[in-house]
Each structure stands twice: as structure tokens, then as C-alpha cells.
Amino acid sequence: MTTSLLIVQILNGLQFGILLFLVAAGLTLVFGVMDFINLAHGVQYMLGAYLAVTFVGLTGSFVLGLALALAAALLIGLALEFLVFRHLYERDHLDQVLATFGLILLLNQGVKIIWGAAPLSVPVPEFLTGSIRLMDGILYPVYRVALIGSGLAVGGLLWFIVEKTRTGMLLRAGASNASMVSALGVDIRKLFMIVFAFGTMLAGFAGAMAAPILSVEPGMGDTVLILAFVVIVVGGIGSIRGAFVGALIVGLVDTLGRSFMNDLLRLFMSAPSARATGAALSSMLIYLVMAIVLFVRPEGLLPAKGRS
Amino acid sequence: MSAEFASIRPALAEAARPAAPPRRRPVVAIVLFLALAAMPLAVSLGLPAHWLTLVTRALIFAIAALSLDLILGVGGLVSFGHAAFIGIGAYATGIMITEGRSEALLILPVILAACALFAAITGAVSLRTRGVAFIMITLAFGQMAYFLAQALSAYGGDDGLTLYERSTLAGFKPFANRTSFYYVTLATLAGCYLLISTIVASRFGRALRAARENATRVTVTGYDVGRIRLIAYVISGMIAGLSGFLLANQTDFVSPAFISWQRSGELIFMVVLGGVGSLHGAIIGALAYLFAEDVLSGWTEHWRVIFGPLIVLFVLFTRGGLVGIIGKLGGRRDD
């Protein structure tokens, strides 16, 4: 009984971690390559979810809706890059933090105007409903398995692009010395635009994939943004591998903490005080993990090469 | 004169250069404080009465923005979790008043100690990192405080805590009356302003400022940059705690929303809006921010749709904040 619960919660933790990885990968890519802090990355995740709600509703097909949502998220990202972000690459981090903070206010409120403040939902696509029987007595929803699978596939693709292709080589070179890459005749503006658009799309993809299992509501991106920050700080800023490891750690610690902290504390204290302490501790657990990691390794667990 | 001193001199000279020319700085500050002191008089002469409440609120946030400017503007450390200190101050006030200890002379030492402790611990961890990592770590510590407040189910949890009485001060009730509340707040702000400008002008402040420009050079001169930054961080946190005390008393309410990371973002924006590093700029920024919020939210409930783009445009097209604009209007160029 407890082992099966543990296995299910580990899977939930993995699935949450994969979702965080999709958001954190874009964030850390933009940061690693362009040295740009994009607080608005979380609202791009939120936009992905809302666009999925709209397009899945319009087309009646999950796959088609997802594809349209991704395309729309990409377009919005490119528009934002053109209007705002490209004017901030040369500015210091404070300006970037502030301008993207302004965008958060705008987009969170804009979503409320367009879609209303009430939470929305997307039905789980029919071909992904039902559960898989993992072993005796353990059923796990197909959709969550599909989410884990597609997240891993995107992660693999990202690894391949960054490590094995010419574009990836330029990205890595641009991350350590942008002006040198530019001097070699590479159009650095175009490279930045591609990285940015790609990061946006990853965040939108995460939002759209999360839409059927989470409630879609204004401000949903803010929570994820903070968690994505924790992920990349724990993993090492600018490192995709770090983001992957960090995301799995954060996803597992958070999920397992929320499910088992109460039981664990009940071994030491009375039930009511265990419940109160458990609620506080489990919310803070990942931040404690982050503080400990940073205390031991200020650069994070797997810092990107060429940065220090 | 040893060679060591020769090497620090350029860094300190550079750092001692204030954001605005030195002669004008006290004049602007004095005019500002005189105008603020005349505010209740203007209200009694016919200015809308809710302005006094609004300005009181702005001055409370100005205290927090001022304290943030010490580490952000002077120290060059972008702390994104500063609202946590307001929250600690506000929650200490709320909890103690709920428990029947409403005397400020009891509450304030608790706030100062709690803020100092929180700042010392989180600062010791955060200051091991630089730049972006620092921004994110302070953000994460702010979130920790936020979730802690949410978990305080005995004191309202997510719904917040309503206060049924206000604090007393040495047995008197200065927070019960709108005008006396205003003057207590203004006096607190003036005190914090004097304290922080004294710190900034001291050797300690110069070293803090110099470390922003070139930490290595300051370290080589024999200063412990880490310790200087940590002390500045602790002082800053304690002052922000005071604004939490006043805020809880003004709103008669305390909630986790006081500590949300958006609140920390707003504080940063107030500092930048006014002008980073010039202390009266933080006060002007807080006033301008809250007035803009008041005016825009009077127009539409969706005021953030206007306010967000305004922030973006402000960042893209202005440098030096409102203080810089005032300086240009004054016809003098700094650079």
C-alpha cells in the first residue's frame, strides 16, 4: 500500500520535474546565451496554457489545438522580442528585471480581460485517457506518462541540438563570448532571436501540456517562474544538463515533501502540530534544498562550462 | 602614506561621487521634507482628505524603498526579496497585537531582532553569490517567508489577519488619529533618511559604494567586502521592518500578500523610478508610484494593463529616474 503510493508519488514528482525542466530550459538558455533575465518567461508558460484552451476548444482536436497554440506562442514571443526584449540585451540586469516585470503586470491582467479570472480547463484528449497498469495494484494515468515521455523527448532533442549541431556549437560559443562569435561573421542578432523564440516555445509547450492536468488561471505562470529559478540556481545557471537535474530534484523533493512530510513528522510530534508544521515545511522544502546546495556549491550542481 | 592607500584612492574617489551633484542634493531633500510636513495643513485648507491617507501609505513604502536603496543603489546588490522584511514587521505587529501586546516599545525591539536575524541568515547565504544568482536567491528567500506566512493558520493563514486595535506608543495613541499617524510616519522616514545618509557618507558607506565598482580593489585594501555587505543588508532589513510595523497599523490587516514577490518587484521599481542610489529619489519614487496606482486604479479595475507598459516604456526611455529628470529640468548636466 505505502510502496505503491510511494511509486505513484515518485512518478508524479518526475512528471512535475519534467514540466519544470521545459520551463527552466528556455529560461536558462536565454540567460546562458544572451545574459538576459526574462521574468516574463512564466507568463509565456501561462499564455501557452490559455492558447491551448482556446485552440483545443475551437478545433475540437487536442493535437491540432496544441500545434496552433505553439505557433501562436511563438508569434507572441517573437513580437515581444521585437518590441521590448531586443532593446534590453545591452542593458544591465536591473533594467531587464524591471521591464519584464512590467510585462508580467500587463499580460497577467490582459489574460484576465480576455479569458476572465475564473479557472479554465482543457479535457484530456480521448486517445490519452485511461490508466496504465504498472504492476499489481498500481495504475497510472496515460496522459501523465505521455507528458513524461514528451518532456524527455524534448529534452533529448534539445541536448542533440545544443551538443551536436552547428547551431548548437554557435550557441555554446556565443554563451562564452558573444562578441568573438559575432566577429567571426555570425549574425548574432538572428542567433539571439532564434534562441529567444525557441525558449518561448518551450515555455508555451510546457503550459499547453500542463493545461489538461492543472487549472488554467491568471498568475499560474508566476508560481512556475519562481520554481524554474530555483531549478536553474540549483542546477547551475546557463546549463541545460543542470536544468534537467535541478528540475528532477525540485519536482521530486516538492512532490514527496507534500505527500509524506505529515507522516514523517507524526513520528516525532502530535498529529495537529505535525499537520501545521508539515504544511509550512513542505512549501519551504525546495527553498531549503536550494539554500543548502548554494551554501555548499555557490555555482550550482552542474555549472555550465566557461562561466564562473 | 603607504602604497596601499594610493591604490584605493581612485576607487574611493569614484565611489564618493554621488548620483546627483552634492550641492543640490540637500536642497531637494529639504524642499521635499518641508512640502511633506505641510501636507496636513494643505488638507485642512481643502485638499481631498484621502490624500493624507494616500501620502501616509506612500511614506510607509518610502521607508522600505529607502532601505532597499542602501543595498541596491549604494551597494549594487539587487535584492528581490525585500518585501519579506515588511512582512516580518507586519506579522510581528499583527501577532503581538492579537496576543494583547500592543505597545510599540515592546513590538519594535522584536521586529528589529527578527529582521536582523532573518537578514543575517539569508544574507550570509545570498551574499556568497553575485549578480543574477543573488537576485534569484533573494527572490527564493522572499518566497520562503511568503509560504511561512501562509502556513500560520493560527494567525489567519492564507486569508490574513485582521487587527481590531492599533498599537500604542509609550502609552499614547498616535496611530489612532490620521494627522498624528502621518507625522509619526514622516518623522520615522526623516530619521531613517538621516541615518542612511550618515551611513552612506561614512567610511563604511564609501567602502560599500566602492565595492560596487570594484570589489577586488576594495578587498585588497584590507576591507572585508563580504562583512560590509552583510552589515548593510542587515541594517537595510531592520529599517524595512519598521515600515511593516507602520503598514500593519495603517491597514489594520496583515496577509501573505504583503510578502509576495510582486511586492518586492514594486519596491525595486519605486527605487528605479525615483533614481537609483540617490536617497531622496527612493522617497520621490514611492510617492510617484502610489499616486500613479491611485489615479490609474480610479479609472479602471484593469489598471495594470496601463501600468505594466508604462513601466516598460519608463525603463526603455529614461535613465536616472525622476531625480535625473528633475536635474535636467534644473538645467544642470551631471555628465
What CA–CA distance (Å, rounded) separates B92 from B221? 41
Cα distance between residue B246 and residue A264, in whole Å? 40
Whole-number Å distance between alpha carbons of B222 and B311? 41
Instruction: Identify the burial level of B180 via C-beta atoms within 10 angstroms of its C-beta, where 0-12 means exposed, 13-18 middle and 19 or more buried.
Output: middle
Amino acid (one-letter) located at A282:
S
Of B137, B148, B311, the CB nearest to A280: B148
CB A299 within 8 A of CB A232: no
The total number of residues shown for chain B amounts to 335
In angstroms, how far is CA B318 from the centroid of its own chain? 22
**Grid coordinates belonging to B88:** 516580518
Q: H/E element holding B254?
A: strand B253-254
Residues of B in contact with A233 (CB under 8 A): 133, 136-137, 140
Q: How far is it, in rounded angstroms, from Cα B306 to Cα B304?
A: 5
DSSP letter string over B160-175? -EE-SSPPBBTTB-TT
pLDDT recorded at residue A203 = 93
Give CA–CA dist A206/A69, Å, rounded: 11
Q: Are A111 and A97 in contact (CB under 8 A)?
A: no
Residue B71: closest CA among B62, B84, B80: B80
Tell me if B119 sits within 8 A of B238, measured CB to CB.
yes
With a cut of 70, list the residues of chain B below it in pLDDT. Answer: 1-25, 330-335
> Residue B314: closest CA among chain A residues belongs to which residue?
A99
Q: Which of A97, A104, A258 best tests the B interface by mutation, with the highest count of B CBs <10 A?
A: A97
Three-state SS at B103: strand
| Predicted TM-score (pTM) of this structure | 0.85
Other C-beta atoms lying within 10 Å of the C-beta of residue B292: 16
Chain B 273-332, residues with CB within 8 Å of chain A CB atoms: 276, 302, 304-305, 307-312, 314-316
Provide the 8-state DSSP code for B276.
T
Which chain A residues are closer than 8 Å to B144 by Cβ?
A: 284, 287-288
Residue type, A211: A
**Yes or no, beta carbons of A279 and B125 under 8 Å apart:** no
Neighbours of A231 (CB within 10 A): 31
State the DSSP string of chain A.
-HHHHHHHHHHHHHHHHHHHHHHHHHHHHHHHHH----TTHHHHHHHHHHHHHHHHHHHS-HHHHHHHHHHHHHHHHHHHHHHTGGGTTTS-HHHHHHHHHHHHHHHHHHHHHHH-SS-B--PPPGGG-SEEEEETTEEEEHHHHHHHHHHHHHHHHHHHHHHHSHHHHHHHHHHH-HHHHHHTT--HHHHHHHHHHHHHHHHHHHHHHHTTTS-B-TTHHHHHHHHHHHHHHHH-TT-HHHHHHHHHHHHHHHHHHHHHHHHHHHTTS-HHHHHHHHHHHHHHHHHHHHHHHHHH-TT-SSPPTT--
8 Å CB contact between A20 and A205: no
CA-based torsion, A232, A233, A239, A243: positive or negative:
negative
- Concatenating the DSSP letter of every residue in B306-325 gives HHHHHHHHHHHH-SSHHHHH
**Across the interface, do A113 and B148 touch by the CB < 8 Å criterion?**
no
Distance from CA of A20 to the nearest CA of B (A): 16
- Residue B82: burial class (beta carbons within 10 Å; 0-12, 13-18, 19+): buried
Give the whole-angstrom CA distance, residue A11 versus residue A246. Answer: 16
> So what's the pLDDT on residue A31?
85
DSSP state of B72: I
- Residue B135 contacts residue A97 (beta carbons within 8 Å): yes
* Residue B286 in grid coordinates: 514611492
Determine contact, residues B94/B161, Cβ cutoff 8 Å. yes
Asked if A224 and A45 touch (Cβ cutoff 8 Å), the reply is yes
- The residue of A93, A94, A108 whose CB has the most chain B CBs within 10 angstroms, and thus the best one to mutate to test that interface, is A94
pLDDT tens digits, A18-46:
999 999 998 988 888 888 889 999 999 99
**Position B205: which residue type?**
G
Our CA-based measurement puts residue A129 at a distance from the nearest CA of chain B, in whole angstroms, of 34
Q: Which residues make Cβ contacts (< 8 Å) with residue B10, sequence separation at least 6?
A: none
ipTM of the complex: 0.85
Under a CB-based contact definition with an 8 Å cutoff, are residues A21 and A205 in contact? no
Distance CA(B258)–CA(B83), nearest Å, equals: 7
Q: Which residues of chain A have pLDDT under 50?
A: 307-308
Residue A231: the pLDDT is: 92
Task: Give Cβ neighbours of residue B239 (< 8 Å, ≥ 6 apart).
Answer: B63, B64, B66, B67, B70, B192, B195, B196
What distance separates the 2 farthest-apart alpha carbons in chain B?
64
CA A231, distance to chain mean position in Å, is 9
Q: Which three cell numbers stand for residue B222?
A: 584590507
Q: Tell me the pLDDT tens digit for each residue of B224-247.
A: 999 999 999 999 999 999 999 999
Instruction: Give residue B20's pLDDT.
Output: 45
**Of A283, A97, A66, A195, which is closest to residue B269 (Cα–Cα)?**
A97
> Beta-carbon neighbour count of residue B186 at 10 Å?
19
Is B80 near chain A, with CB under 8 Å?
A: yes
Q: Is A270 exposed, middle or buried (0-12, 13-18, 19+ CB in 10 A)?
A: exposed
Interface membership of B223 toward A (CB under 8 Å): no
Phi, psi for A37 (deg, rounded to 5): -90, 115
pLDDT at B331 (0 to 100)? 54
Q: What is the pLDDT of residue B330?
A: 63
Q: How far apart are CA B249 and CA A306, in angstroms?
A: 51
Tell me what pLDDT residue B115 has: 96
CA distance A3 to A242: 29
In which residue are the cell numbers 494583547 written?
Answer: B100
Give the chain B residue nearest A285 (alpha carbons): B144
In this structure, the number of other CB atoms found within 10 A of the CB of residue B305 comes to 18
Closest residue by Cα to residue B113 from B17, B270, B242: B242
